[in-house]
Amino acid sequence: MPRLLTPEKGSDDEASLAEFHAYYMQVLKENASIAKKAGDECPEISVIVPEGAMYAMVGLNIHMLDGVTDDADFAKQILTEENVFFLPGKVFGMDNFVRLVMCMPAAKMLEAFSRIKLFCSRRSNLSKAANGAAVPLEVQEQQKVCG
């Protein structure tokens, strides 16, 4: 094990470890970019972009999601409906946040965010605003900003 974690200078093991590290950092960087873009496209969530972490914290705008009471409820419902697993932020003392692992292949990250956006669009108060339903003040302000 020490040979793998602290290989000899100039060895094949050192080159292999450096190659793996570079590849893995690129995966995390690419997935952070995917998460940021998806978060910008989905007003019901806000992604805290990681800088090399293996996970991202995703803030939930609960007031914008009909039928969702908190982060644990969100995690349960999105797992059931879209097969996307989040760890509720309550576990870390961060209410209305969820934690998403970032070390999957980019194609899986894109698929996950596609499903997250679908789930949010079905629950969104923004879609009800177009139908004349009552809209929370926070959503009205968001609509003004977004046009």
Residue 53 near residue 28, CB atoms below 8 Å: yes
pTM, whole model, 2 decimals? 0.78
26: CB partners within 8 A, 6+ apart: none
d(CA 126, CA 131): 9
Residue ranges per structural domain of the chain: 2-127
Considering the segment(s) 2-127 as one domain, its CATH architecture is Alpha-Beta Complex (3.90)
Which of 69, 18, 60, 68 has its CA nearest to residue 42? 60
Q: How far is CA 145 from the centre of its chain?
A: 23
pLDDT tens-digit map of 3-62:
777 888 998 889 999 999 999 999 999 999 999 999 999 999 999 988 878 999 999 999
pLDDT tens-digit map of 73-130:
999 999 999 999 999 999 999 999 999 999 999 999 999 999 999 999 999 987 554 4
